[in-house]
Structure 1
Amino acid sequence: MGTNLLHLSSPSLVFLIIAISGLFGHTTKAIPNFLDRECEPENKTSTNATYQANLNILLSLLASNSTAPNGFYNLSIGSEAPNIVYGLFLCRGDVRFDICQDCVAAARENLLKYCPKKKVGTAYYDECMLRFSNEYIFSTVTVDVGIALWDELSVPRNDFKQAVVETVNQTAAQAASGSAKKFATKEAKLTQINETLYTLAQCTPDLSSADCWNCLQICIPSLHMQNKGSRVLYPSCTVRFELYPFYFGSLTAPAPAPAFPPPPVAVHAPPPSRPTSGEQRISTALMAILVPITVSALLFTAFPPPS
């Protein structure tokens, strides 16, 4: 009836079709950018075999659920202490499902390798964060230990610091009161230095808006606001700014009137011995000492006209 049938009788033709189908069907895994990890001290290891078995199951289940719609998933394994283990992952709000999946898989392997027999562990990547604990961590702000990263190059201008403070706080307010993802980005044109400021704030979606806001307000004072870029990461939230686009596109619309008006932000001085690598471990205990001493009220105003 006029139908053309293709008979795969030629070995070379069969090979060509297999090669083409393999080419189109091949996918490569994204290599996530590792930042840091936190494991419990050596004197807090767990020799509980049941707990370790539950931890292995939990990390595997987290990795298998890394295509969750909002890039977040939490669960617990075990029925009671000391065998119960809690875990969650959070992918950056702008990354694709496949990138999230590859990142969570890498974080799982990282924690299994470098945090063996630990009761608590957290792995930080550019694209995701994965953590586990023997204590309840869901819907709870955790800011006991975090990390700060920054660009070694600085912008020694007061108007730059003022713009960072204002924009980062606006982004934090939008993340806290915005979408279910608890994620926001914002851009600001810095005409005085002919640059664009890119900012990001994110909390784990299981936090309330008030808890998300409070968590981000703990992050912000540890930013190095006169450097060209800086970020602070805690298990429950993160905030970052750069002078280059580090996320996929402008993802959030202009924010409505923030539900949490940005208060004056305390900016503390750099640590006495600043790490040359641009990395610093921070804790809220340290901040509790530094912030009251060095707090200064900053007025959130636009840049003054160029002189």
Structure 2
Amino acid sequence: MASRRAPLPLLAIVASLCGAAVSQESKFTNSISRSCSTTGNYTDGSQFKKNLEQLLSTLSSAASSNDWFNTSTVGTGPDKVFGLIMCYADSNTTQCLNCLALAPAGITTVCPGSREVYALYDACVLRYSDTHFFGDVVTYDIDDSVMFWTLFQEATEIDTMVQARSRLMEELTKKAGDLPPRLNYYSLPYKDPLLGTDVISGLAQCTRDLAPSECNRCISVYTRRASILFPNNSGGSIKGYNCYLRYKLGALNITMPPQRTPPTPMPRITDSERLPPSTPPTPPSIFICLFVWRRRNRNKIFEDGDVFDDELAMEDDFEQGTGPKRFRYRDLASATYNFSDERKLGEGGFGSVYRGFLTEQNLEVAIKRVSKGSKQGKKEYISEVRIISRLRHRNLVQLIGWCHAGGELLLVYELMSNGSLDTHLHDVGNILPWSVRYEVILGLGSALLYLHQEWEQCVLHRDIKPSNIMLDASFSTKLGDFGLARLVNHGQGPYTTCLAGTMGYMDPECMVTGRTSVESDIYSFGVVLLEIACGRRPAVAREGEE
């Protein structure tokens, strides 16, 4: 039998991608400082090793959904494992994600058999042990920290810089432990004509398991040593296993945990403003008024006839509680500060998406506002409510609610804090690690399997592309935007419809014949797989080209 060989061009592509990934991942798998215990090591197959593997496999995902910090335990008795991981606040989201994913995966290779490990990385710190250490400071000895000083030139006026730095350090030390995230960022006016800076900035951060007094004490030690370690430098940082101190001339880019600020509540109607009591209405009159009111509203909203035949029945089902919640327009307007530009997350062909906060549910959401007067947008709104509201799968974006009132069409979704996949694929400086790409592909495949085979009807998505693949706080895949989706019976052949989708991702046969099928979605899925692997958008022929 002839041996099967991969095509040489494919091997070349894979090799180049792997080389790029290795160079990017090495800075997250290679610690800048570590301490590995050498006594009482665990062995292969031991219960401690099983507990450790379970801890490391869940530690990073839990931190991703907990503002980049997590402590956890697995097991009982002498085989119990305690773990901690935290990102540094001056790391961007992608750097933090890489460190959270790759540091736990590689630490057992560099510390084989160790029951107690401390490891510092460029973007995060990782610790685990067989004894309880939460709240304990490893040491205040500066020799057990990693010290950095920037290679920038000295400050122009050293004396004034030192004075400004001293004031900065005092402010950092005062409040670092008092704030719940054990994080304090501060800046002071300071002009350096040669470096062209207007401020001097600093960051003090502790692992959140420390008590406020222990955090302040640790930062105090570091601030006293900063003037010795960096006498004339325009910036420097000290990293330890419990705390982190950094300063520089100029602004620091800080990734602060998101603050949920509920919008100002709507004014309530006072007793004096209420209508006076009148004769109680009879049940028949209530029924007639309700019937007339609902008919008038339906005719007003869907007056152009761009609805499916069962739209009115669908609305009845929703109002009886079998679908997502129907929201009032004023509640959604309040949640988005009246749809202000500051709350806008993005804009598409048929509307804009806003970040909102629902006070009653204490929930952050994404609210899609369909463009007024857009017939296609109205069709997509109906399709979304009609289809996605009935679907339940971990890899599909959840529709929380809907609203149509006063000419407005609004859809309320769960908030995807890491946005869409396309925003993470094309930044050379922040390449997604292979482990995350692999999980994204598995999640997307699971969503398509559910849509095509496992639900009661076959759902044809018709617009699979990276911008419709959303990522939650732990970078789990959520397929969204069902505005072009269609329902067909299982086993039915290709479905003839109007041409819809995005150039570059559309099935060529569908573009020619106008007939879409499960295979059309799979073709789009394959294009997305190539884009995930290569980081390159699909080529689209311009007019006149073949």
TM-score where L is the length of structure 2: 0.37
- What secondary structure does 2:64 align onto? coil
Question: Which structure has greater helix proportion?
Answer: 2
In 2 relative to 1, CA 130–249 (structure 1 residues): closer, same or farther, beyond 3 Å? closer
> 1:219 Cα deviation (Å)?
1.9
CA contact under 8 A between 1:161 and 1:225: conserved in structure 2? no
Write the deviation string for residues 29-83 of structure 1: whole angstroms up to 9, x where unpaired. x869556131225x436134322222221111102213233321101122122x2
2:88 is matched with which residue: 76, 84, 92? 92
The separation in 1 between residues aligned to 2:27 and 2:200, in whole angstroms, is 22
- What secondary structure does 1:76 align onto? strand
- What secondary structure does 1:112 align onto? helix
Report the counterpart of residue 72 of structure 1 in structure 2: 69
In 2 relative to 1, CA 246–32 (structure 1 residues): closer, same or farther, beyond 3 Å? farther
> 1:87 Cα deviation (Å)?
0.7
- The total of aligned residue pairs comes to 222
> 1:230 Cα deviation (Å)?
1.2
> 1:96 Cα deviation (Å)?
6.0
Report the counterpart of residue 181 of structure 1 in structure 2: 181
> 1:192 Cα deviation (Å)?
5.2
In 2 relative to 1, CA 37–57 (structure 1 residues): closer, same or farther, beyond 3 Å? farther
Structure 2 residue ranges without an equivalent (≥5): 1-20, 259-546
- What secondary structure does 1:119 align onto? coil
Structure 1 residue ranges without an equivalent (≥5): 1-27, 253-307
The separation in 1 between residues aligned to 2:168 and 2:240, in whole angstroms, is 20
Report the counterpart of residue 39 of structure 1 in structure 2: 35
* Runs of 4+ with >6 A deviation: 249-252
CA contact under 8 A between 2:173 and 2:219: conserved in structure 1? yes
Q: Which has the larger radius of gyration?
A: 2
> 1:161 Cα deviation (Å)?
2.1
Give the AA of the match of 2:135: S
% identical aligned pairs: 22
CA contact under 8 A between 1:187 and 1:199: conserved in structure 2? yes
Give the AA of the match of 1:183: L
CA contact under 8 A between 1:104 and 1:129: conserved in structure 2? no
Report the counterpart of residue 247 of structure 1 in structure 2: 253
In 2 relative to 1, CA 199–132 (structure 1 residues): closer, same or farther, beyond 3 Å? same
The separation in 2 between residues aligned to 1:86 and 1:74, in whole angstroms, is 8
- What secondary structure does 2:118 align onto? strand
1:199 is matched with which residue: 189, 198, 202? 202
CA contact under 8 A between 2:89 and 2:256: conserved in structure 1? no
Report the counterpart of residue 222 of structure 1 in structure 2: 225
- What secondary structure does 1:191 align onto? strand
Give the AA of the match of 2:238: V
> 1:122 Cα deviation (Å)?
2.6
Give the AA of the match of 2:88: R
In 2 relative to 1, CA 55–185 (structure 1 residues): closer, same or farther, beyond 3 Å? same
Report the counterpart of residue 11 of structure 1 in structure 2: none
Report the counterpart of residue 126 of structure 2 in structure 1: 130
Show the 5 A alignment for 1:1-307.
Answer: 34=28, 36-40=32-36, 43-44=38-39, 46-48=41-43, 49-81=46-78, 83-93=79-89, 99-143=95-139, 145-152=144-151, 153-155=153-155, 157-178=158-179, 180-191=180-191, 193=193, 194-195=196-197, 196-223=199-226, 224-226=229-231, 227-248=233-254
> 1:93 Cα deviation (Å)?
3.5
90-99 or 100-109: which moved more? 90-99
- What secondary structure does 1:219 align onto? helix
CA contact under 8 A between 2:91 and 2:255: conserved in structure 1? no
